Amino acid sequence: MPEVTSAISTSNPRKLHIRRARLTCVSGDEAGQSWLMERDVIHLGSLKTDDVVLSDPTVSRRHAEILRTKEGVILRDLGSTNGTFVGPVRIKEVFLVPDTHFRVGRTELVFTPADEIIDVEPSPEDHFEGLVGESVVMREVFGILERVAPTDLTVLIAGETGTGKELASRAVHARSQRKDKPFIVFDCGAAPDNLIESELFGHQRGAFTGAIEARPGVFEQAHGGTIFLDEIGELPLDLQPKLLRVLEQREVRRVGGTKTKPIDVRVVAATNRRLREEVDAGRFREDLYYRLAVVELALPPLRDRLEDLLRLAQHLLIRSPHNHGVDGISSEVQAVFASYHWPGNVRELNNVVERAIPFSDGTEITIDALPEALRTGTTGRHPKTVIKPNVMAVPSELPFKDAKDQLIEAFERQYLVDLIERHGGNVSRAARAADMDRKSITRLMKKHGIKRGG
C-alpha cells in the first residue's frame, strides 16, 4: 500500500517515502503468484474487476479489501460467504503487520511491506512535458514527477493560482501508463453547488428537474484514464463523503440510480488552499485529505523562481498561437519583468506576453507594448496599483462619518457587482480573485441585494 509524503520546501535532504506492499499467494489455485500493490485500496475477490482476482470457488465476488489509513493498513472482510481469517480467527477488520498470513475462502495469502525511500534529487532536465524551469526548486519538482508519474499513485498538487497546477496534472497523465486513455478535467469551484454531484457521478433520467436523459459523470468519462479535480478545496462539505466513497470503492452510483458501476481512474487533485488548515478548521474532511494526499506536491510561485522568468517568457512567446514574427524581449522589458511581483504567477506572465504581441511593431516586445499598470507599477517587488478615480459625488452636506459610510457602501456594492460580473457569477472564483472568504462575499452580496447575475 502506498503512502508518499512529499513537500517541496527549503529543508534538505528531501525524501519520498513510498509505502508499497506485496501480496503473495501461499496456497490455492494461484499459489506462487504475487501482486505488488500501489493503490491505497485493494479489492480481493473473484470478480474480473478486482485488483487481486482469485479463482477459488469459496472466494466471494467482492470478498475483502486492504485499505491504507492514517493509522496503518487494514484488512477488512466485505461480508463474504466463507469469511476472512487470520490464523483460526474469522475477522471483520484487522490491522496488518509485516508478514501477516491470512485466508480468504480456502486461499492463503501473505502480506509483506515493500517500502521505498527515495532521495529527491533535482532533475538534470529543465522541463517536464509542458512545465519549464531551470531553478533548483522546479527541477526538484521535475525529479518528483519523474518518479511519481509512471505509478498509479494519487497526487495532490498545491500552489497559488496560476502556478501551473493543471499543466502538472497533464504532465503526470502524459508520463503514465494511462496516457492513451481519457484525461478529464473537473473544476470543483466552477460548477453550481446543486449540480456538482450530478457532474461528478452522473444522473439517471428524471433524477431531478431538467434531467431529461441519463448522463455519465466525469468519473465514468475518465474510465481507464486520469481525472483532474481542480480546486478540490471548493468541494462542498456534504459531498466530500460521497467522493471519499468513490475513491475507496472505485465505483459510482448515478444520482437517482440504484446500481453501481466500477470505475478505473487515477486521481490528480489541485488546490490553492492550505488543505491542512482547512481540515483543522472543519471545512475539509481529514479522511478525504489523507486519501488525496498520497503524494503532495507544492508548485512554487513565480516570485520564488525568478531565475526562470525570462526563460518562461521566451517559452510562452514562442509557443503563442497568435505570434507572427515576435521572437525577442527587449532588455527594458526584461528589467520590468524582473522587478514585478507577479501575483498571478505564470498565468499572468502568459497573459502579459499574449497581450504584448499584437502591440509590438518589430521582432521584440518593447516597453510600449506592456499594459500601463505594469509599466507604472514596477519600482519594487510589490508594484503600486494604479486606480483611476471614479466620478463620485462627495456628500459634503452630511456629517463626515455619515458621508464616509455612504461612500464605503457605494464602493462595496460597485466592487462586488464588477467582481461577480467579471467571474461569470461564480462566487468561489470571485472570492479567490478578491482574496476573501467565500462566506464574506456571500454575506456582502446579501447585504447589497446582489444576485449572481450581477
CB 161 within 8 A of CB 175: no
Mean pLDDT is lowest, of 20-34, 110-124, 396-410, for 396-410
Q: How many residues does the chain have?
A: 454
For position 393, what pLDDT does the model report? Answer: 57
pLDDT-based confidence at residue 394 (cuts at 50, 70, 90): low
Give the 3-state secondary structure of residue 268.
strand
Mean of all residue pLDDT scores within the chain:
85
In tens, the pLDDT along 185-219 reads 999 887 777 788 888 998 787 777 777 788 888 99
Separation between Cα atoms, residue 402 and residue 398, nearest integer Å: 6
* Residue percentage of the chain with pLDDT more than 90: 45
pLDDT-based confidence at residue 354 (cuts at 50, 70, 90): confident
Which of 439, 437, 392, 443 is CA-nearest to residue 414?
392
For position 1, what pLDDT does the model report? Answer: 45
Separation between Cα atoms, residue 351 and residue 353, nearest integer Å: 5
Q: How far is CA 203 from CA 193, 219, 228, 232, in A?
A: 15, 12, 20, 21
For position 174, what pLDDT does the model report? Answer: 96
- Does 421 score more than 50 pLDDT? yes
276 vs 371 pLDDT, higher one: 276
DSSP secondary structure, 79-91, as one string: S-SS-EEETTEEE
For position 408, what pLDDT does the model report? Answer: 75
CB 58 within 8 A of CB 105: yes
Mean pLDDT of 353-361: 85
For position 380, what pLDDT does the model report? Answer: 39
- Does 9 score more than 80 pLDDT? no
Predicted TM-score (pTM) of this structure = 0.74
Query: Is the preceding peptide bond at 371 cis, omega within 30 degrees of 0?
Result: no
For position 19, what pLDDT does the model report? Answer: 73
- Mean pLDDT is highest, among 113-122, 242-251, 358-367, for 242-251
pLDDT-based confidence at residue 322 (cuts at 50, 70, 90): confident
Q: How far is CA 107 from CA 46, 49, 58, 102, 176, in A?
A: 12, 19, 8, 8, 33
Where would I find the H helices in 175-228?
196-201, 218-221
CB 5 within 8 A of CB 22: no
Task: Report residue 68 CA to chain centroid gap.
Answer: 20
pLDDT-based confidence at residue 452 (cuts at 50, 70, 90): low
Separation between Cα atoms, residue 179 and residue 152, nearest integer Å: 12
CB 219 within 8 A of CB 265: yes
- Does 4 score more than 50 pLDDT? no
Separation between Cα atoms, residue 125 and residue 129, nearest integer Å: 11
Alpha carbon distance, N-terminus to C-terminus of the chain: 49
In which residue are the cell numbers 499598470 written? 373
CB 18 within 8 A of CB 4: yes
Q: How far is CA 201 from CA 170, 260, 334, in A?
A: 22, 10, 47
Mean pLDDT is lowest, of 7-21, 239-253, 285-299, 375-389, for 375-389
In tens, the pLDDT along 155-166 reads 999 999 889 999
Give the 3-state secondary structure of residue 67.
strand
pLDDT-based confidence at residue 119 (cuts at 50, 70, 90): confident
- Does 68 score more than 80 pLDDT? yes
CB 237 within 8 A of CB 250: no
Q: How far is CA 365 from CA 98, 355, 361, 374, 378, in A?
A: 62, 10, 8, 14, 17
